[in-house]
Structure 1
Amino acid sequence: MATFELVTGLQRDQQRRCVFLVAKGTPIADEAERLGIEVIDTGELDASHWTMRRRRNPFFALKRLPARLRLLRRIGSPFIVHCNDILEMQSFGFAAKLLGGKVVYHHHALNRMIFPNRLLVGVADAVIAVSEICLQAVAFVGADKARYVLNPIEVGLVDRGAARSRVCAALGIDPSRVLAGFVGNFWERKRPLFFLEAAAAMLAKRPDLHFILFGRRADYEIEDLEARAQALGLGERITFAGFLMPAEDNIAAIDLLMAPAVNEPFGRTPIEAGLLGTPYVATDDAGHAEIGRRWGGGRLVPLQDEPGQFAETALAVLAAPDEVLLGPSARAAVVEDFSIRAHAAAVEAVYRRLEGARQA
């Protein structure tokens, strides 16, 4: 999402030509074309279905190097390759350097900086970090290379009542219930099991609650989470919804966003909740801690707290949401900080510095 928003801003506000190097026939390619972004087919559709371990194999990168060099030559020179993860640095970072291109690495993860990762990141001419904790993780490249730039997060005007009606109708939920939600794929660090345990503790004290998990399988299978929910006594008071469109409805429809994730690089959902007028409760850790302290809109729960303690904080926020919701001026400040225009301008400044260095 952040990449699509960045490219939208670069093309619209900075008049910069942007090209997606991606396999045709993938959801990313389809969405890029829908948004009017130029797409060059990598011809690697088969690899998009491989496991990450297989795709990270350096022998695959070497095998594809000649084809990737041809793709980059099609773009024309000079060019900047902007990579969003370590795998893309392996895929196109080295290829770009071989052709004299500049490379930007956009760091938005807290993966371990083992030697191969440090080597790949070190190839970049500039590193953009999306949060303070991400910036700390790439400090080894030097202050002259690394810069902190907030990801763009924009949401349109959403009628919360209408969103609630749409979501409840789609999922068969009684709209009179108080709705608490989890938004994110079911990775270990997102702590969906923690969410279920907190939900059970909340339901014991507020029987009018209904819980919705908007997300897809990852480290956890949905069937395993469903079985755990039933064992905790959540019964028909929990719904596994996948993701509904428009995405804003997932947060606007609920009365409380519960974000128990740990080691979160930044996280869009608390910011989106603040803009949509939905209070949140999040773990006081990593990127979520930064969000809670800098922009507010919800309440942070100490990292060491158990699900029952998380539940107590969540119930307190539900009882008095106005105590944490952003006011008009605070919301306007968030809109400006996370605007596509501001993000594109900051990234364009990085590009121009690299282009100036090339000319010098």
Structure 2
Amino acid sequence: MRDELARRDVDVVTVPYNRGDIRNKNEKGILTRPAEIAANIPTVVDATRSLYELIRDRNIDIVHTNSFKSAVLVSFPARITGTPLLFHARSSRAYSDHGILDRYVCESADRIIANSEFTASTYSPWSEKTTVIYNGVNTDVFDPAEVTPRDIIAEHDLRNDQPVIGTVGRLTPRKRQIDLVRALPEIQKSHPDVQVLFVGGSYKGLGTAHEREIAATMRELGVEDCITFTGYVDDVHRYLAAFDVSVLPSLKEPFGRVVVESLLMETPVVGTADGGIPEIVTHGETGYLVPPEEPRVIADSVTRLLDNPSRMTEFGQRGREESLERFDAATITEQEQAVYHDVLAL
């Protein structure tokens, strides 16, 4: 978003949690001044003072926060300087209810931007000041015409003539990757040579209880040989292009950015009918929606797609068309700028 705003000659001051979050942004004409927050500042008081000085000294017109933590820190400085505050809710209160702090942030904000109708529904006490604007994606990066899937296939020693199922996200209980593992034996009945990529997260020494549970389930079901864990990657678009089907079995996903990214890469999606995912996937047209925590239904939906390559192509192409229209970063930035103008006019 900041790059899009800069292209529109908006003077953007970016305040990351630490200096490592901003790389070479000054070269793009974006003004940055890191506020050494949390781990890098001894106290929240110092962070608040730093933010107050930044808002005052730079004559900031509007403060747009992109996380709950940043909203907590900047609410008071924005209030005492009389600067309008936008709280961008990118996670729902279904999993992160902060009690009195939620009330403090939402009452302090002049406007709340929610990244989905689902997220907005969890902020219902403040519905009169809440606007839904979906997350934007750089559609120039997520362009299947610019990617060669064979590169990823070769990098991970996969077979080019066998189907690839993939899921993207950190290995956490809420992402429910374990449901995809449990779906594999059923998928293998029709597609015994199916290959699976788990992209993102960590699989280092089975460091968490959830990772150990995934590993134990893989051994129990005998599907270890068909699953590859990539670890964190910064070129997700290349992996999505290599997927035949993208699976997101998450619970209460606030938005589901990887769903949009999958569709932009013309990869059909099997996702849970939960959280924000149904706002992205059109069931039976760009993918299939399945009940949460139902591995058998995941297996049935994935198999239906793998059994019908022309349907996969049709779903993928339609998904890209819809996503280009709804989620392009430039379009989303226009919507956010409209909110800026509304707030400044108050």
Q: With structure 1 as the length reference, what TM-score do the two structures score? A: 0.84
Q: Letter of the 1:107 partner, please give it.
A: A
Query: Which residue of the partner structure matches residue 214 of structure 2?
Result: 225
The residue correspondences of 1:51-62 to structure 2 (distance < 5 A) are 60-62=43-45
Deviation of 1:16 (Å): 1.0
CA contact (8 A) 1:130 1:148 kept: yes
1:136 equivalent in alignment to 2:128: no
Query: Which residue of the partner structure matches residue 85 of structure 1?
Result: 67
1:100 equivalent in alignment to 2:88: no
Q: Letter of the 1:29 partner, please give it.
A: I
Alpha-carbon distance change, 77 to 341 in structure 1, aligned in 2, over 3 angstroms: same
Query: Which residue of the partner structure matches residue 53 of structure 1?
Result: none
Query: Which residue of the partner structure matches residue 320 of structure 1?
Result: 308
Query: Which residue of the partner structure matches residue 126 of structure 1?
Result: 111
Query: Which residue of the partner structure matches residue 261 of structure 1?
Result: 250
Of the three residues 283, 297, 308, the one matched with 2:296 is 308
1:10 equivalent in alignment to 2:27: no
The residue correspondences of 1:1-360 to structure 2 (distance < 5 A) are 6-13=1-8, 15-26=9-20, 28-30=21-23, 32-33=25-26, 36-44=29-37, 46-47=39-40, 60-74=43-57, 76-111=58-93, 112-113=96-97, 114-143=99-128, 145-156=129-140, 157-159=143-145, 163-217=148-202, 222=211, 225-293=214-282, 296-303=285-292, 306-323=294-311, 325-326=314-315, 331-357=320-346
Alpha-carbon distance change, 72 to 36 in structure 1, aligned in 2, over 3 angstroms: same
For structure 2, list consecutive stretches of 5 or more residues without a partner in the other structure.
none
Q: Distance in 2 between matches of 1:257 and 1:34?
A: 36
**How big is each residue's C-alpha offset from its partner over 1:301-341, in whole Å with a ceiling of 9 and x where there is no partner?**
123x6212221111111112433634767643431221222
Alpha-carbon distance change, 273 to 296 in structure 1, aligned in 2, over 3 angstroms: farther
CA contact (8 A) 1:273 1:279 kept: yes
CA contact (8 A) 1:213 1:241 kept: yes
Q: Distance in 2 between matches of 1:219 and 1:287?
A: 27
Q: Distance in 2 between matches of 1:297 and 1:154?
A: 20
Q: Distance in 2 between matches of 1:292 and 1:312?
A: 17
Secondary structure of the equivalent of 1:177? Answer: coil
Identity %: 23
For structure 1, list consecutive stretches of 5 or more residues without a partner in the other structure.
1-5, 49-58
Alpha-carbon distance change, 329 to 279 in structure 1, aligned in 2, over 3 angstroms: closer
Deviation of 1:216 (Å): 0.7
Q: Distance in 1 between matches of 2:242 and 2:316?
A: 19
Alpha-carbon distance change, 306 to 223 in structure 1, aligned in 2, over 3 angstroms: closer
Secondary structure of the equivalent of 1:241? Answer: strand
Q: Distance in 2 between matches of 1:329 and 1:230?
A: 38
Secondary structure of the equivalent of 1:263? Answer: coil
Q: Distance in 2 between matches of 1:343 and 1:37?
A: 19
RMSD: 2.7
**How big is each residue's C-alpha offset from its partner over 1:190-220, in whole Å with a ceiling of 9 and x where there is no partner?**
1011121112332244211011100113976
Secondary structure of the equivalent of 2:131? Answer: strand
Deviation of 1:286 (Å): 1.7
> Which stretch shows the higher mean deviation, 205-214 or 193-202?
193-202
CA contact (8 A) 2:267 2:316 kept: no
Deviation of 1:244 (Å): 3.3
Deviation of 1:234 (Å): 1.1
Alpha-carbon distance change, 258 to 228 in structure 1, aligned in 2, over 3 angstroms: same
CA contact (8 A) 1:83 1:93 kept: no
Deviation of 1:181 (Å): 0.4
CA contact (8 A) 1:180 1:257 kept: yes
> Which stretch shows the higher mean deviation, 320-329 or 196-205?
320-329
Q: Distance in 1 between matches of 2:195 and 2:157?
A: 12
Q: Letter of the 1:65 partner, please give it.
A: T
Q: Letter of the 1:152 partner, please give it.
A: G
Q: Distance in 2 between matches of 1:309 and 1:244?
A: 29
Q: Letter of the 1:350 partner, please give it.
A: V
Secondary structure of the equivalent of 1:174? Answer: coil
